[in-house]
Structure formats: structure tokens, C-alpha cells
Amino acid sequence: MNNLADKLRQSGHRLTPQRELILQAVDKLGHATPDEVLTEVREHSQAVNISTVYRTLEVLEQLGLVKHAHLSDRAPTYHSVAGHEHFHLVCRKCERVISVEDHEASAFAKLLREHHGFVADIGHLTVHGECAEHEE
Amino acid sequence: MNNLADKLRQSGHRLTPQRELILQAVDKLGHATPDEVLTEVREHSQAVNISTVYRTLEVLEQLGLVKHAHLSDRAPTYHSVAGHEHFHLVCRKCERVISVEDHEASAFAKLLREHHGFVADIGHLTVHGECAEHEE
DNA sequence: TTCCATGCAAACACTTTGCACCGTG
DNA sequence: CACGGTGCAAAGTGTTTGCATGGAA
């Protein structure tokens, strides 16, 4: 089955080569800014415009195929949602990014739901701090 | 005692009227973008430049007097660190911001430290999701 | 053949920087 | 009176938008 084509059509969108390429690039790169996605796409094919990248990432996120997180103070990064959700730890000292299974945040999410009626989007969560090699 | 003046001098900085005004504005506003800080400062005094706001917020953050968090996908917001640390819950539907005492994240922080050797900066943490009135 | 999608260029939002002048310490 | 701080203007980075053209269904 073609997940992308199906999801696009079900929501009244169209399947285009650009959209396939951009989703492939996100899959391959792991965590990438829109600009990095553009660079990756141009390795294989050429001729994709940066505004198409922005517009496509927005559509893919609506469809639940990718998510974005804010790993730095700069541009957001996109990653594919390949079944298992995860969140991120980012070291301020070395910029290292650690991906953590969502279940490690489930107790925290439960607490927020019970105390504040708040349903957390764990897949969007980024925790900044310092990794083992760099703590004070 | 004058906390600002002391901290500035101890770190080789100077006390200026702009720095006092900007810190007061952050205190008063709660959570504010650099631009909102500028607007607030200009209510009282005039003549502070946006680049001074950026430079000052950076200094104040180094001194531990303010912190920034990313409450939206847009500009960061600054809040004063008035003794007690807190983190934020942001509702995607209504933009509401809920401030939560840091101790509610202490079990989560402990888990991250034990499993990943990662020391989380809870005061910088922002959790996105949906508040009680807007969950699905 | 109908609309949605794309490319392009311009505009926009936010932030940083170089430099001359100002004012704290 | 030295040196860090400020204002101003310009440039840098990241993102969005209007519009004409292109192509999927």
C-alpha cells in the first residue's frame, strides 16, 4: 500500500513527485530543518523550491506523517513519524540530540493530565539541558 | 539590596537605566517577547532601541535573572526568575499558557538523569498539547 | 478540463552586527 | 577618562504570500 498517496487523496490533496521526494528526504535525514530537506532533495532530483518544501512539510504534518520539534533556538526540525513516537533531549553544550521512547514520559504526561487536565503532545516535546559528558 | 546592580558589577557589566527598565518590564509582563518588552518599556520611558532589548535580555539571562522559553513557533518569550522555577504548558487550540511549579517535573527529571545521564533544564521546558477545554 | 500544486520573486518577521557616540564607574 | 553600552542602520536568517503557470485526477 502507498500510505502517502492514500492519505493525500483522502484529504483532498494530490500526489506529486515533490511530495514524495520531500517525505523520503525527511525519512532519510532523521531530524532536518526545511533547508536541510531542500539540500537532500536536490542531491537526487533537482528543481524543488524552498517554498514548496515549507508548504509540503505543513501538509505532511497535518496528515500525521511527519512532526516538527524545536531542537535549537533556530529553525525547527522535522522527523518522520514511523510508527513509534519519541521525544528529544538536547544538550546545550554539545548540541547532541538524544531520542527517547515516548513511554518514558508517560508518567509525566499522566501527572499533567490529572493535575491540570492537560493532554501533552509528547512527540513534540524537547527537553533542553546537559548530557552526561557535559553536566556541571 | 539591589540584586541587578550587584550581579551586573560582579560580572564586569554596568548598571544602566535601560537595563533596569527592561528587567522591570519582564517582571511586570510575565511572559513577553523582545518586541513586547520594548513596547512596555516605551510606555514609561521612551528611547530604548530594539537591539538594546535583545542584548540586554541576553545579559540578564546569563546572570540568571530571566529565562526564555519557546511558547509559540514564533519569537521566544522571556520571564523573570523570581526565586521559584516553573515550566509551561501551552494549549495548541487556545494559546493559553499554564505555569507549573518545577517540582511537578522532578520525577520526570530524575528518570531522565538515571536513564540517560541527562540533566534537564526544567525552567526552559515547554510542553505543547491541549488544555482541559480543548482536548479531543 | 478543473483545481490543486509549484516556482519565482517580493515581502515579512525576527535577530544580529558594525560603527560612531555616550555615560558609568 | 577608559571601556563597556547604546542607537541607528544595514544586513542576515528563516518563513510566508501573491500570482501566473503547470500538471494530477
Q: What is the pLDDT of residues B78-117, one digit of tens each?
A: 999 976 889 999 999 888 899 999 999 999 999 999 999 9
Taking Cα atoms as reference points, which of A3, A31, A5 lies closest to residue A16? Answer: A5
Taking Cα atoms as reference points, which of A69, A90, A72 lies closest to residue B120? Answer: A90
Asked if pLDDT for residue B135 goes beyond 80, the answer is no
From the number of C-beta atoms within 10 Å of its C-beta (0-12, 13-18, 19+), residue B75 rates as middle
Of B136 and A124, more confident = A124
**What is the full DSSP assignment across B90-116?**
EETTT--EEEEEGGGGHHHHHHHHHHH
Q: What is the pLDDT of residues A9-29, one digit of tens each?
A: 999 999 999 999 999 999 999
Nucleotides of C under 7 A from a protein CB: 4-10, 13-18, 24-25
Q: What is the pLDDT of residues B35-71, one digit of tens each?
A: 999 999 999 887 899 999 999 999 999 999 999 999 9
- Best mutation target, B119, B125, B126, B133, to test chain A (most A CBs within 10 A): B119
Asked if pLDDT for residue A132 goes beyond 90, the answer is no
Q: Which residues of A touch B92 (CB under 8 A)?
A: 121
User: Residue B2, SS3?
Assistant: coil
Asked if pLDDT for residue A90 goes beyond 90, the answer is yes
pLDDT of res. B1:
56
Indicate yes or no: CB of B111 within 8 angstroms of CB of A107.
yes
Q: Which of residues 11-50 of A touch strand C (CB under 7 A)?
A: 12-14, 16, 18-19, 47-49
Q: Which residues of A touch B108 (CB under 8 A)?
A: 105, 107-108, 111
Indicate yes or no: CB of A129 within 8 angstroms of CB of B116.
no
* Amino acid B21 CA to nucleotide C12 C1' distance, rounded Å: 29
Indicate the pLDDT class of residue A47, thresholds 50, 70 and 90. Answer: confident
* Cα dihedral A31→A59→B132→A106 (10° resolution): -30
Q: Which residues of A touch B102 (CB under 8 A)?
A: none
- Best mutation target, B58, B122, B128, B134, to test chain A (most A CBs within 10 A): B128
pLDDT of res. A48:
95
pLDDT of res. B118:
97
